[in-house]
Amino acid sequence: MHKVKVNDELELDINWSGAVANVNGIENTPDILKLHDGSYSILLNGKSYTCEIASVNKEEKTAQIKVNNHLHTVTVKDKFDLLLAEMGLDALLTAKVNDVKAPMPGLVLKNLVAVGDSVVKGDGLLVLEAMKMENIIKSPCDGIIKKVCTTVQDAVDKNDILIEFE
């Protein structure tokens, strides 16, 4: 079972059984022809649709899909996402990150960001030397730097706050 949301407006419950899709309790048998990578021709209930996958964000389980040249945002939740939501644990996945802590004791070799800098998830924040190895500490989220809590040559312990986000 998958819960699919289109443009934050239309919600569908889809259960695939072979080539048959049960959408909100109604069985549909689409005829799908792959034209080329990311592009499909779909025949459903006598209507023809040209679909193209514009982009996919696997982490957020979203996709931008063009259907007959109209762009739609599609969000898919699988049985595990639905179970987490049912248990109230889905909020943990979107918890706001306020700071970055040292994953290990070490010596700050270089700060790569300054107060007010905008960063995206995966950007380098600072270089930490630990056990004679240089480790780039990366941003766990998108955000704006509120405070840089270290200077070059600072010795830090595990769990010391290195960077604070707005």
Please give the pLDDT value at position 1: 67
Of 10-19, 36-45, 102-111, 147-156, which gets the smallest average pLDDT?
Answer: 10-19
Chain region(s) in the chain for CATH 2.40.50.100? 99-165
Q: What is the three-class DSSP state of 156?
A: strand
Query: The domain 99-165 is classified under which CATH number: 1.10.10.60, 3.30.200.20, 1.20.58.100, 2.40.50.100?
Result: 2.40.50.100
User: Rounded to a whole number, what is the distance in angstroms from the first to the last CA of the chain?
Assistant: 38
16 band by pLDDT with thresholds 50, 70 and 90: low
36 has pLDDT over 70? yes
Reference 75, options 7, 142, 1, 22; nearest CA is: 7
AA letter at 97: V
Q: What is the three-class DSSP state of 91?
A: helix
